[in-house]
Amino acid sequence: MSDETPIRPKRRPRYSGRNPRRFEDKYKEHDPERYAETVEKVLASGKTPAGTHRPIMVREILEILAPKPGDVAVDCTLGFAGHAREILSRIIPGGRLLGLDVDPLELPKTEARLRALGFGQDVCTVHQSNCAGLSKTLAAEGIPGADMVLADLGVSSMQLDDPKRGFSVKNEGPLDMRMNPERGQSASAYLARVRPDILERALIENSDEPNAKALAAVLAGQTFATTTGLTNAIRSALAGVNRDECELSVRRVFQALRIAVNDEFSALETFLRYLPACLKPGGRVAILTFHSGEDRRVKKSFESALSEGLYASISPEVIRPSPEERRANLRSTPAKLRWAVATS
Ligand SMILES: C[S@@+](CC[C@H](N)C(=O)[O-])C[C@H]1O[C@@H](n2cnc3c(N)ncnc32)[C@H](O)[C@@H]1O
């Protein structure tokens, strides 16, 4: 190419219709500083701008955790750091927040965002770690106990909306579903190897799937390279089932596979077991869950730690997002919040 070749400006992505539908094409949402108006419109419609996450029940969580200057806080599921930012601004000066997350792809972006907001290493450290290893992370940092612990379980919107991560029912991508793609097996590899009886149990235990037996018989041992391949196989296995029910089954199978691939229930159980010992006397914990399998485990663990005297009090019932929040953020709808206070 000669030096005279004119340099053409890069063309913006083409898409049909008025608005981009694919995650990669939502260039305005990916650049909120330049396109604040577009981002405002997305937020006003109750949706989540691409590449971000909207923190849920922030007011309620801050009331429970009651952060104050000098406190030590742990956010066990840092995500986009929506909750962490709010906690951080209340524990300075003198306080410290440890942010844990298993996701090696999003964690550096979140850390960069926190640093850009002015939260340095002295007040905030990030750790690529499973919440099941909370006590080890605290010990490695020389912290005997935390004043508050937050866990906001499941996947972030960044993970869910990025087709490359393979979590999404809506967008085609590789059938992966690992929160940490550097470890374990993808959902595709899991399905190719799993026995039908094991898959049936996972579909029942992880998402109460009523068609578990029929689906397990068809899906176990099959190789699906993409999310769409799996969705189509579920739809044809349930050809006789009404359409809405069938779409619910698609979502439940995706949820059950995600839980299996990331071993989410054993991580949650280990975290809950060690949690009372990770809190200072009087320390507070808040846990946000998104389906019955998670909430059941949190409720049971809080009740038994209360009866053992490890907690002084626990939430008498589950707290749900307000109707305003559910309208403003559609993804908040299934959220359930529970809290506990360690014995003084
Ligand atoms: C719902 S998002 C948290 C969003 C965050 N509260 C915010 O305001 O941005 C859940 C995050 O937890 C992480 N995660 C899920 N299970 C985890 C576990 N067992 N240990 C550590 N991180 C986990 C996911 O990778 C994801 O980033």
Q: Is the CB of 267 under 6 A from ligand 1?
A: yes
pLDDT computed for residue 5 by the predictor: 55
The dihedrals phi and psi of 42, each to the nearest 5 degrees, come to: -60, -45
Alpha helices, DSSP H, located in the chain:
36-44, 58-65, 82-91, 107-116, 134-140, 157-161, 187-193, 196-207, 212-219, 227-237, 243-261, 264-278, 292-307, 323-328
Domain that holds residue 233: 181-261
Nearest Cα residue to atom 15 of ligand 1 = 154
Q: What is the pTM of this model?
A: 0.89
Q: Does residue 98 share a domain with residue 80? A: yes
Q: Does residue 292 share a domain with residue 147? A: yes
Residue 210, in any domain of the structure: yes
Q: Is the pLDDT of residue 4 over 60?
A: no
Q: Is the pLDDT of residue 84 over 60?
A: yes
Q: How far apart (Å, rounded) are the C-alpha atoms in residues 93 and 126? A: 18
Residue 71, in any domain of the structure: yes
Task: Tell me the best of 179, 270, 289 to mutate to test the pocket of ligand 1, counting ligand atoms within 8 Å of each CB and taking the most.
Answer: 179
Q: Each residue of 288-318: pLDDT tens digit?
A: 999 999 999 999 999 999 999 999 999 999 9
Q: How far apart (Å, rounded) are the C-alpha atoms in residues 213 and 308? A: 39
Residue 172, in any domain of the structure: no
Q: Is the pLDDT of residue 2 over 70?
A: no
The torsion of the CA quartet 43, 46, 48, 53, rounded to 10 degrees, works out to 100
Q: Does residue 189 share a domain with residue 122? A: no
Residue 80 CA to ligand 1 center (angstroms) comes to 9
Q: Each residue of 208-231: pLDDT tens digit?
A: 999 999 999 999 999 999 999 999
pLDDT computed for residue 15 by the predictor: 58
Q: Each residue of 8-50: pLDDT tens digit?
A: 666 666 656 666 767 677 666 677 766 667 767 777 777 787 7
Place of tokens 């109460």: 208
The torsion of the CA quartet 246, 250, 256, 258, rounded to 10 degrees, works out to -170
Here the tokens at position 212 are: 């578990």
Q: Does residue 251 share a domain with residue 326? A: no
Tally of domains in the chain: 2
User: CB 182: neighbour CB atoms within 10 A?
Assistant: 10
CATH code of the domain containing 315: 3.40.50.150
pLDDT computed for residue 51 by the predictor: 82
Q: Is the pLDDT of residue 1 over 50?
A: no
Mean pLDDT over all residues of the chain? 93
Phi-psi region of 300 (alpha: psi -120 to 50; beta: other; left: phi over 0): alpha
Nearest Cα residue to atom 27 of ligand 1 = 79
Q: Does residue 315 share a domain with residue 253? A: no
3-state secondary structure of 99: strand
